[in-house]
């Protein structure tokens, strides 16, 4: 009897330990994917290409005067497409706020979306986005061929698109700036250049 | 003999669902902003209801989990848990019917896209609660309780491993990158 009890208890403990080991291993694989897959902003080939001049718009801002988007008078511009119902967008708002204050000297950050104005006003109020220009313009999204959110476009002071792509985390947002300084549009492009050598 | 087996498996299932609900509640409470976003993504509740729902759902989950662990109120806990599971299932089915496939299900654990398998999963979990709901589940000795909880704990670890597998599988497919048609300017 005591042997059966001992065997059962020992087996349960072993099964539990093994199950936890498997879980931890799978979690590690998941973490590896998280580290590998976001290699720079994911870029698609639709819309204005990197190196081409950006289309220009002057949409109305919900938080201030009208703003020129795409080639705004001698300053670089980061246009960030978001939506009140996109969880990842909300996670990136603090990053955008710090970029706006840190890079104030040379960069304007513009938030862009489209749709129902009261919802966006509520979103601006709740997330305290009053300091950002916030434009509602479906033409803007169409011109850049924004298909999934959050999406960002970085233009230089001449209004030329320097980097763009789907943004899922802070690293991808920062990769837009490294693309601007390195002159390589995306890490995919960088990898392709190196593969070609 | 059969009644005993039903009692023991029913008890194990109730303990397992209790652990699952507790995990889901902790997950929701740990990242309220994300959970509210998930709720908004489903597009089923009006905006003013999002914040109350965000607070209410984890509280209900903890209440159901707690009640499931105590024999005197186990049937009530089973009913509450079944209600939650079926409500979630119905919400997922409604979102899927509207074509919202690529949103996070918000189930607790790694981010998973919606799918009919998740709806089926909730129905199966609800079915596992039937013995507890009818008062036919539970343990009578310490040994039974130990074996039941061991089963529930191992079950939870395997469940979490299964979810992680599904999430990894989804990432693996995404990591393949753009298809040849997209790369060479075909149908975008």
Among A57-61, B63-67, B120-124, the minimum mean pLDDT is found in A57-61
Among A39-48, A155-164, B134-143, B170-179, the minimum mean pLDDT is found in A39-48
Average pLDDT of the residues in B13-24:
94
B180 belongs to a structural domain: no
Percent of chain B clearing pLDDT 90 (strictly above): 46
Is some CB atom of chain A closer than 8 A to the CB atom of B111? no
Q: What is the DSSP string of A19-57?
A: HHHHHHHHHHHHHHHHHHS--S-B--S-SSPTTSBPP-B
Average pLDDT of the residues in B34-38:
77
Of the pLDDT bands very low, low, confident and very high (cuts 50, 70, 90), residue B183 is very low
Residue A194 has pLDDT above 50, yes or no: yes
| B158 contacts in chain A (CB < 8 Å) | 19, 22-23
B126 belongs to a structural domain: yes
Residue B184 has pLDDT above 50, yes or no: no
B104 belongs to a structural domain: yes
Q: Which DSSP category does A78 fall into?
A: E
Work out the burial of residue A190: count CB atoms within 10 Å of its CB; fewer than 13 is exposed, 13-18 middle, 19 or more buried. Answer: middle
Instruction: Look at A85 and B41 and tell me if their CB atoms are within 8 Å.
Output: yes
B187 belongs to a structural domain: no
Query: What is the reported pLDDT for A93?
Result: 85
Average pLDDT, chain B: 84
Instruction: Look at A90 and B37 and tell me if their CB atoms are within 8 Å.
Output: yes
More confident call, A23 vs A90 = A23
- CA-closest candidate to residue A78, choices A139, A150, A2, A7: A150
Find the residue in B nearest to A29 (Cα): B168
B179 belongs to a structural domain: no
**Structure-token pair, residue A2:** 């005591």
Instruction: Look at B47 and A46 and tell me if their CB atoms are within 8 Å.
Output: no
Instruction: Look at A23 and B171 and tell me if their CB atoms are within 8 Å.
Output: no
B188 belongs to a structural domain: no
Residues A43-100 have pLDDT tens digits of 555 677 777 888 888 887 888 777 788 765 678 888 888 888 777 787 788 888 888 8
- Is the peptide bond between A150 and the residue preceding it cis, with omega within 30 degrees of 0? yes
Q: Are B154 and A16 in contact (CB under 8 A)?
A: yes
Q: Are A67 and A137 in contact (CB under 8 A)?
A: no
- CA-closest candidate to residue A95, choices A182, A169, A30: A169
Count of beta carbons in the 10 Å neighbourhood of residue A106: 10
The residues, any chain, with a CB within 8 Å of residue A180's CB and separated by 6 or more, are A76, A154, A156, A162, A163
- Work out how many domains chain B is built from and give that number: 1
Interface test with A, best of B171, B176, B181 (most A CBs within 10 A): B171
Average pLDDT of the residues in B27-35:
79
Q: Which DSSP category does A60 fall into?
A: P
The residues, any chain, with a CB within 8 Å of residue B32's CB and separated by 6 or more, are B54
Instruction: Look at B178 and A36 and tell me if their CB atoms are within 8 Å.
Output: no
Domain assignment of residue B91, given as a range: 2-174
B182 belongs to a structural domain: no
Element (H, E) at A152: strand A151-155
Q: Is the ipTM of this complex over 0.90?
A: no
Percent of chain A clearing pLDDT 70 (strictly above): 83
- Residue A152 pairs in a beta bridge with A80, A165
How many Å apart are CA A168 and CA A42, to the nearest integer?
9
B186 belongs to a structural domain: no
How many Å apart are CA B112 and CA B115, to the nearest integer?
9
């Amino acid at each position: 009897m005591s042997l059966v009890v001992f065997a059962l208890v020992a087996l349960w403990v072993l099964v539990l330990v093994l199950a936890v080991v498997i879980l931890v291993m799978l979690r590690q694989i998941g973490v590896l994917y998280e580290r590998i897959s976001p290699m720079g902003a994911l870029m698609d080939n639709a819309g204005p290409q990197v190196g081409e001049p950006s289309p220009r718009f002057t949409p109305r801002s919900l938080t201030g005067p009208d703003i020129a988007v795409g080639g705004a008078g001698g300053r670089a511009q980061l246009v960030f497409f978001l939506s009140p119902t996109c969880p990842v967008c909300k996670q990136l708002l603090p990053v955008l706020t710090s970029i706006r204050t840190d890079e104030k000297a040379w960069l304007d950050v513009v938030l862009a979306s489209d749709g129902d104005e009261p919802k966006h006003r509520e979103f601006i109020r709740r997330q305290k986005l009053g300091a950002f220009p916030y434009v509602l313009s479906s033409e803007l999204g169409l011109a850049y061929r924004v298909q999934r959110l959050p999406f960002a476009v970085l233009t230089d002071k001449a209004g030329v698109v320097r980097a763009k792509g789907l943004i899922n985390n802070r690293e991808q947002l920062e990769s837009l700036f490294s693309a601007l300084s390195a002159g390589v549009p995306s890490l995919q492009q960088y990898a392709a250049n190196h593969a070609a050598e | 003999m059969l009644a005993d087996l039903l009692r023991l498996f029913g008890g194990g299932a109730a303990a397992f669902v209790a652990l699952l609900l507790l995990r889901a509640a902790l997950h929701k409470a740990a990242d309220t902003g994300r959970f509210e976003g998930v709720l908004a993504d489903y597009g089923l509740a009006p905006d003013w209801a999002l914040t109350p729902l965000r607070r209410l759902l984890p509280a209900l989950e903890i209440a159901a989990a707690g009640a499931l662990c105590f024999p005197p109120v186990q049937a009530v806990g089973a009913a509450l848990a079944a209600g939650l599971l079926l409500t979630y299932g119905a919400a997922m089915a409604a979102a899927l019917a509207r074509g919202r496939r690529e949103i996070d299900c918000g189930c607790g654990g790694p981010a998973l896209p919606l799918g009919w398998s998740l709806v089926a999963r909730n129905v199966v979990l609800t079915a596992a609660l039937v013995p507890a709901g009818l008062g036919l589940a539970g343990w009578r000795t310490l040994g039974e309780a130990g074996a039941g909880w061991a089963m529930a704990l191992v079950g939870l670890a395997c469940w979490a491993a299964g979810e992680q597998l599904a999430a990894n599988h989804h990432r693996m497919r995404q990591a393949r990158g753009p298809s040849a048609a997209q790369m060479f300017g075909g149908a975008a």
